[in-house]
Structure formats: structure tokens, C-alpha cells
Amino acid sequence: MLEGEDLEVLDVGTDAGGEGDGAAVEEVPEELPPGDSETTDDKPDAEQQPEAEKGDGRKVAAAVRQHLAEVKKTNPVLAKELERIYWKGQAIDKLGTTQELTALKEAVELHGGVEGLSQMAEEVQAGRQLEEGFKRGDPKVIEGWATDFPDGFKKLVLPALDRLERMDPAFHEQAVSTVSTKFLEKYGVFDAVGQMGEALRNGKTDDAIRLYNDLVGKVFQPMRGLATKAATDPLASEREQINTQREELAKQEKAQFYGSVRSEVNQQVGRAMNAEIGKLLRGRKLDPEMGNRVRSEVTEEIKKLLVAQADYAKRYETIMGAGNRDKAIKFIVDNAQRNMPKAVQTVLKYRNLLGTNGNGARPPAKVAPKSGASQTVVGRPSIADVDFTKTDKATFLGSRQHGRAFLKSGKMAQW
């Protein structure tokens, strides 16, 4: 990781321009009431209530059942919908908290979704089979290795023999003898030695000398030359230079990637920060110097909050290391926006810029559209009207209170 990149991607207080609410909302389904899976204060009372069992084995707390019965008297349709929402919430609670589900969703997306996980599972299975093949000494492992990676296979044959000699000298001698015998038989060395011995026994010195010279010149000298060549790497310097160039290129690509992520993150978080500050200041303006100081301090406060998150740094490294720009931006922005309200509140309170009640926040007034050809529509649009080629779907679904989205009509909706 580049120096300081773990958090300094958030160096200007970047990201979100009104669409960042999706980062703060932890994928809570629209039908569920707020705090369904993570609110624990009310659960003990509910758990103490006797439960009534439905025909399918599910149990309803007596208090809930009583309220549903009362609603059913006046509005059966609403009662049925509330019961559906209740069971949906119960099902989600069984899976875990919204924070745990969000973390799980991010982890799955990081590895390519369900399809990516399936592929990883297949690769793991293939790896285990390969390990079993090595363990059994299955020759098919060598066959597949040589077929798929011929250059790598050739490079590792000699180091494998050297390692075998250190590990088991006796077996190494047996293995090398087998290889040497095949080699000498291939080039007729055994026959030539036999002929040379017969020539010496018969006093044919000239024939013996000729056979000897043939063996030395055609077999043993070339054999030694090839062995010497194999022991040295004539391209070592070139390979070292290539490796250095690759490392430098990788550093440059990493710097460009981090810079690209930082630029977009800073824009989005900057917009979200300005909106949050403006909301708490209730229309009051800060002079440029104070405004820059506040934004800088909010950024530092967000960093502190992120550092305090036990798993943030590890997840950050994993996501940035994957090299997916969109996912990296979304991860950083979501986490920054999740901590944005608290950070802004802390800084404004420290600067005595909040109202007398300690909280200058109030619902922002909706601006009526101007007459004429206005390109902005006030109010949260329906899903069918949103252009998701320009609007992030997850961000839109998570933006309940305020945000913006591009419409299929070409206009911009803001709420």
C-alpha cells in the first residue's frame, strides 16, 4: 500500500453529493421499521411475552398478535400487510444484524458475487486434487503441469534434482543413473565402449583411439558444454531488468489507481459534507477561512472514526488490492458517510457553531421548482422513473430521507 493511502484517500472530505445516504443506511428493506434488527432495548420485553403459535409452526409474541387483531377489526388489508412485514423482519433477524449482513454483502461482491464464489470453490477443489496428486506421486500431475506450463516445468527440473540429492542421496543416485543410462544408450556409448575394448584386446590400437576420440568429441564434450550452459542463466541480467521494470510499472499503476479513487471520493464526500454542515448551520454562512477549517477538521474526525472501526483497515486493504475502482469508491464513501453526521456534529459543537440547544439540525425546506424549463424535480421518484444507467441503484434504494437521482426523462430528482 502506498504511504498514507489507507486513510488519506479521504484527504479533502470527499464524496457523496446528496446520494450518500445510501452509505449510512445499512441495506434495511423498505418494508421494515427503523432499527428492526439492531434495536435491542425493546427485545427483552417482547421476549418475555407469551407466544402464540401459527399453524406452520411459527410463533407470534402475544402483544404483537393482540395489536394485529385490533388493526384487523378496522383494516384487514393493513393488518395482513403488517403481519407480512413482521415475519419478514423476523426472518432477517435470524440471519444477523444489518451491520453483519452489510459486511457479508460487501465481502460477496468483493469476490465477484455468487458466481465469483462458485469459481473460487472450484479452484479450491482443483487445488486440493492437485495436492492429493502430489501426495500420492501421481504421474498425471507432472503430465498436466508440463502441458499447462511447459516453460515453468523445464526451469524446475534441475532444481528438483538438486533438492532430491540433499533430501535422499541414495534415491537421487538411482534416479540420475536411470536418466544417464537412457542418455548413454541413445547415443550408443555402451556399444562404442565395447568396441573399443575389443579393439584393444586384438591389438588394434588405432581403432581404439578412433573410437575414443569419437566418444569424446561427439558425446562427452557436448555433454559437458550443455551441462555448463544449463547451470548458468545467460539471460539473468535481462530478466532482472525486466523484473525491475515490472515493479516500477506496478507502482505507477497503483499510484494512478489510488489517485483516481481519491479524486472521486473527495468529490462525493465533499458534497455530502457541505450538505451536512449546511443542514446543521440552518442557513447560516461561514467565511471561506472558517469553512475550510471546519471541513478539514471534519475530515480528520471521520478518519479517527474509521480507524476506530475494528475491521475497516483490513477490509480497505482487501478492496483496494482488488483493483476495482467502483467498489473501492463505494466502500470508502459509504463508510465516510456513515460517520459523517457524528463527525460534523462534533466539529461544529467544538467550534460553538451549533444552536443554543446544541443541535442546529432541522429538516431542510424543499425548494419549489422554478417556472419555465426546470431540470430539477422535487421529491423522491418511483423506481420505475429512475435512470439506473446514471444513478447507482444501491445508493438510491438506501437514500430514504434525502438524495438525488437521474430520471429517464432527462431531469434530476432531488429530495
- pLDDT per residue, tens digit, the chain (415 aa), is 223 333 344 543 333 333 333 333 233 333 333 333 333 344 444 344 455 555 455 677 788 888 888 888 899 899 888 888 888 888 888 888 877 888 888 888 877 788 888 888 888 887 888 888 888 888 888 888 888 888 888 888 888 888 888 999 999 899 889 988 988 888 888 888 999 899 899 999 998 899 899 888 888 888 888 877 776 665 566 777 888 888 888 889 989 999 999 999 999 999 999 999 988 988 888 888 888 889 999 999 999 998 888 788 888 988 888 889 999 999 999 999 999 999 999 999 888 888 654 444 444 434 444 444 457 888 888 887 888 888 877 677 767 667 888 888 888 888 7
Q: Residue 1 has what pLDDT? A: 29
Q: Residue 264 has what pLDDT? A: 92
Q: Residue 374 has what pLDDT? A: 53
Given a contact cutoff of 8 angstroms between Cβ atoms, the answer to whether 332 and 15 are in contact is yes
d(CA 338, CA 306): 10
Q: Residue 235 has what pLDDT? A: 59
Find residue 412's DSSP bridge partners.
376, 406
The DSSP secondary structure of 171-201, one letter per residue, reads HHHHHHHHHHHHHHHHTTHHHHHHHHHHHHH
Given a contact cutoff of 8 angstroms between Cβ atoms, the answer to whether 302 and 338 are in contact is no
Residue 10 CB burial class (10 angstroms; 0-12, 13-18, ≥19): buried
**In 315-388, beta strands by DSSP E:** 376-378
- Strand, helix or coil at 76? helix
Domain parsing of the chain, residue ranges: 5-14+241-350, 24-108, 134-231, 376-414
Express the helix, strand and coil content of the chain in percent, nearest 5 each. 70, 5, 30
Q: Residue 298 has what pLDDT? A: 93
- Residue among 10, 5, 11, 33 at smallest CA distance from 23: 10
Packing angle of the helix pair 312-322, 98-110 (nearest 10 deg)? 20
Q: Which residue has the cell 467550534?
A: 351
Q: Residue 170 has what pLDDT? A: 92
Q: How many other CB atoms are found less than 10 A from the CB of residue 228?
A: 9
Report which DSSP code applies to 368. Answer: P
